[in-house]
Structure 1
Amino acid sequence: MAFRPRGSRPRRTLLAVLVAASVAVPVAGAARPAAVPAPAPALLAPMTAATPAALDERYAVNRDGIRAAERMAADHGDRKRAAVLRAMTEPTRHFLSFDGRDGGRTTEVLGDLSRAERIAVLVPGSDTNLDTYGRLRAGAVALRQQLGDGSAVIAWLGYETPGTVSPEAMTPGRADEAVPHLRRFIVELRAAKPTARTSLLCHSYGSVVCARGASGLRVDDIVLYGSPGTGTDHVGRLHSRATVWAGRGSDDWIAAVPHARLRLPFVTVGFGTDPVTKEFGARTFDAGTGGHSDYLKPGSVPLKNIARIVSGQTRSVEGRHA
């Protein structure tokens, strides 16, 4: 049963956010450019082995697909998208999957996946697409450097993320659409790397995606950071054997988001209990004093603690409950 706030203030606040979003989204949508054309992605067999030869073949196929998408973007006159795609074709970059249509879907590997003993899969939140992909990749690069040799970080942009100021950002619809894709990827990854320690790192709306797909996922840790909530009121309802962690920077604006759920006639709005509270029941970690986009900032407290969680070195990461 959905959590319902006892007082009227949380309800009024949540409804005010909804009203503001309903006004802002049509205006923002009207200003959006037309979709950038891109070819259909190559059909690839499921990933069953992470040998250097198998990975190199997969990387080469996706590099060709990125080049084709770059040419189409350039012909379309979208220089920004073409430049992003051109950077993705560099020989040092490796993609397990790529689909340039619409906002784009991509799965990039940082590090040597064939030799990795520790793997972190980053699941991003709202406003992440090919045009803004640099932010997700920068965090993946910083985490890979913090983890060092024997590790791989995978930036998984496998779903259409909602806009930060949109009704979709306050409902589980986009997360539910993402879940089958995330589950399929984790199944393939575990088949290819069955003995590697694997962690799911879920930022902002990405924590809703991870929570909705947590049941049955073979991962060691699920780390929720900058989370608006998960859509459930207790960690036990995720039905996961993974250790679930939660952290939030003291200057993260998402703390002000009402942690409630309202069931409306055709949709549920809001994501329930704050994951960093005792009521939710996750293990908390010290996420420092940063803001919503600072969790994987080089040298930061949360980056170091997230790296410790990925490595299984958790003695010094505990934080206080909110």
Structure 2
Amino acid sequence: MLAVGVACAVAVPLAGAGRGRVPAPPPAGVAAPSVAGLDGVYAGNRANAGEAARMAAEYGDQRRARVERGLAGRQLLAFDGRGQGRVTEVLGELATAERVAVLVPGSDTGIDTYGRFRAGALALHERLGERGAVVAWLGYETPGTFSSAVATTGRAKEAAPELRDAVRDVRSVVGSRARISLLCHSYGSVVCAEAADGLDVDDIALLGSPGTGADTAAALHTRARVWAARGTGDWVENVPHLSADLLGTTVGFGTDPVSPAFGARVFDAGDGGHSDYFAPGSASLANLTRIVLGETRAVTS
């Protein structure tokens, strides 16, 4: 079944594959983030997003231009409007935060669909309050849901060094005083698993994960607590949890992260679907908030 699915994904053209590449400037040459230099980093990336919006509008892509104009008024640790687009946005005051959540999205996330990813980050930030900050990290080229890339670890391996750099930048701002939690949705959980070894975070939560490419939580080689959750309405439950060699490529991600065999701390995600882990009022958002705040004994299973 897995092999057939991947073969179909290779054979079927992606929607919008013929769309032209929206022009954008190269990323701003800003210094690595620090407490003293945050304002300068934000300013440089805001200016770059504004220029990208202008170029997109001239090109005729008003949707992209509208999204980028919105981004030009926000706290951006990084921005690249080329291609699918990459954004790292901070919600809250990173320089003074005691609790930080870094969110890693799954497939089909880019600048054009950034709003739905940001909505989850906003919902979590509202729950955390003034003590917390959220870093929405769209720092890699996510695979399409109906593509061969979504069934392999290739994109995740490419993204892992970028995620390590992003966490290192956040740690350089917050220092040792703050807890950092990595919250990884869907294919984003594969990215987090690839980056986990030696990563300076306190918790890693795998949400709606198809698997990580690792057989067990221990195989991630992380000092962080590893959590996993899946809503009862999440279709990812039907994804085969195996890996197989297909035409020289390893397809699939192995052990189900919410199974006892994987060894993660499984928590209640309620009855939500694949896109509902950060839905306001949900059991999953309540438990994610507790994890980020370090209130681990209050997390419900």
* SS class of match (1:66): helix
Root-mean-square deviation (CA), in Å? 1.1
The structure-2 alpha-carbon separation of the partners of 1:75 and 1:185, relative to structure 1 and needing over 3 Å to count, comes to same
Q: Quick check: 1:33 aligned with 2:15?
A: no
- What one-letter code is carried by the residue in structure 2 that aligns with 1:225? L
The C-alpha deviation readout for 1:87-108, integer Å capped at 9, x for no partner, is 1123xx2101111001111100
Match of residue 49 from structure 2: 66
Judged with a 3 Å threshold, the aligned counterparts in structure 2 of structure 1 residues 164 and 74 are, in CA distance, closer, same or farther, namely same
For residues 247 and 205 of structure 2, what CA distance do their matches in structure 1 show? 32
Please give the alpha-carbon distance, in whole angstroms, between the structure 1 residues aligned to 2:271 and 2:228: 15
> In the alignment, does 2:144 pair up with 1:159?
no
Instruction: Work out which of the residue numbers 29, 42, 59 in structure 2 matches 1:76.
Output: 59
User: Which structure 1 segments of 5+ residues have no match?
Assistant: 1-12
* SS at 1:208 equivalent: helix
1:86 and 1:121 map into 2 onto residues whose CA distance is 23
Shift of 1:16: 2.5
**3-state DSSP class of the match of 2:117?**
helix
Q: What SS class does the counterpart of residue 33 from structure 1 fall into?
A: coil
Q: Where does 1:151-300 land on structure 2 (aligned, <5 Å)?
A: 151-194=132-175, 195-300=177-282
Structure 2 match to 1:50: 35
- Report the CA distance between 1:20 and its aligned residue: 2.6
Which residue of the other structure, out of 75, 93, 98, is the alignment partner of 1:117? 98
User: Mind listing any 5+ residue stretches in structure 2 that lack a counterpart?
Assistant: none
Q: Which amino acid aligns with 2:76?
A: F
The runs of at least 4 consecutive aligned structure 1 residues that moved more than 4 Å come to none
- Partner AA of 2:174 in structure 1: K
Give deviations 1:44-85, integer Å, cap 9, x for gaps.
2222x224xx21111111110011000100010001000111
CA distance in 1, matches of 2:183, 2:152: 20
TM-score by length of 2: 0.97
1:81-160 equivalences in 2 (<5 Å): 81-90=64-73, 93-160=74-141
How big is each residue's C-alpha offset from its partner over 1:129-152, in whole Å with a ceiling of 9 and x where there is no partner? Answer: 000000110000000001111110
1:8 maps to none
Query: Could you give the per-residue CA deviations for residues 276-303 of structure 1, whole angstroms, max 9, x where no partner exists?
Result: 0000000011000000000001111100
Q: TM-score when scaled to structure 1?
A: 0.91
CA contact (8 A) 2:205 2:227 kept: yes
Task: Check the 8 A contact 1:18/1:167 in 2, yes or no.
Answer: yes
Equivalences, count: 300
Task: Find the aligned partners of 2:244 and 2:72 in 1 and give their Cα distance.
Answer: 45
d(CA) in 1 for partners of 2:75 and 2:108?
A: 23
Output the CA distance in 2 between the equivalents of 1:43 and 1:274.
41
Corresponding residue of 1:15: 3
Q: Distance in 2 between matches of 1:266 and 1:28?
A: 27
Q: CA deviation at 1:14?
A: 1.1
The question of whether the paired residues in 2 share the 8 Å contact of 1:283 and 1:318 is answered with: no
Deviation at 1:193, TM superposition (A): 1.2
